[in-house]
């Protein structure tokens, strides 16, 4: 089984790219989803987060992920604190899941925005950056309607520059065209990594 980390900043189409790999038969490990589950299920992680960010981020006895995101994305320092608490536990989960599916799947994909920042890349065979121009990223993020323009710009600013990610990645897949073009590229990428055709 080959392991690959798929990354890319906000609005690059990273999750869509992973969806196409899943269609081809890959197992998708959604690091953000796993991190959210950890926030709700691990008392140890919850305690560390409360210690670092205060009780204002708790609602009905649970970590309010929206409040936490607001605090975490307010500065690089806060983002680092949160990542240092959550990432080691996410990597433990990744290793467990890898062992579970290693005989069932040819490709194990980690869908994560912070592959390089968290050191996740050192646990993987390959890394791929889904690359999109700044203009496309902004347009796509605004279309989703999840964040305001200011919030999008703030998040992009806090993420590692795309150019830097391109330098670090084993592969770069451009996503400045249509969804069909991305699908075709991801299908070819799956075949290349797994040696199937």
Q: pLDDT tens, 128-140? A: 999 988 888 888 8
Please answer whether residues 120 and 5 qualify as being in contact, where contact means their C-beta atoms are separated by less than 8 angstroms.
yes
Percentage of residues in the chain having pLDDT higher than 70? 99
Question: Could you tell me the pTM of the whole model?
Answer: 0.86
* 60 against 179, higher pLDDT: 179
**Token couple for 79:** 């983002």
**Distance (Å, whole) CA 38 – CA 42:** 5
CATH number for the region 2-192 comes to: 3.40.50.300
User: CA-CA distance, 171 to 190, in Å (whole number)?
Assistant: 12
Q: 143-191 pLDDT, tens per residue?
A: 877 778 888 777 777 777 888 898 999 999 999 989 999 999 999 999 9
Model confidence at 197, pLDDT cuts 50, 70, 90, reads low
- Mean pLDDT for 2-8 is 95
CA distances from 152 to 92, 104, 145 (A): 30, 38, 10
In 78-167, where do the E strands start and end? 107-111, 126-131
């Amino acid at each position: 089984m080959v392991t690959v980390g798929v990354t890319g900043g906000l609005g690059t189409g990273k999750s869509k790219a992973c969806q196409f790999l899943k269609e081809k038969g890959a197992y998708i490990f959604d690091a953000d989803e796993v991190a959210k589950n950890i926030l709700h299920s691990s008392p140890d992680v919850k305690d560390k987060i409360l210690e670092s960010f205060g009780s204002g981020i708790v609602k009905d006895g649970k970590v309010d992920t929206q409040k936490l995101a607001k605090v975490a994305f307010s500065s690089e320092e806060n983002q680092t604190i949160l990542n240092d608490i959550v990432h080691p536990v996410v990597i433990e989960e990744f290793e467990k899941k890898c062992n579970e599916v290693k005989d069932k799947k040819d490709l194990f994909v980690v869908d994560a925005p912070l592959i390089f920042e968290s050191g996740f890349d050192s646990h993987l065979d390959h890394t791929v950056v889904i690359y999109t121009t700044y203009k496309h990223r902004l347009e796509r993020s605004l279309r989703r309607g999840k964040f305001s323009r200011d919030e999008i710009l703030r998040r992009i600013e806090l993420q590692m520059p795309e150019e830097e990610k391109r330098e670090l990645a084993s592969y770069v897949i451009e996503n400045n065209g249509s969804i069909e073009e991305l699908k075709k590229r991801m299908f070819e990428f799956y075949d290349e990594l797994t040696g199937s055709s």
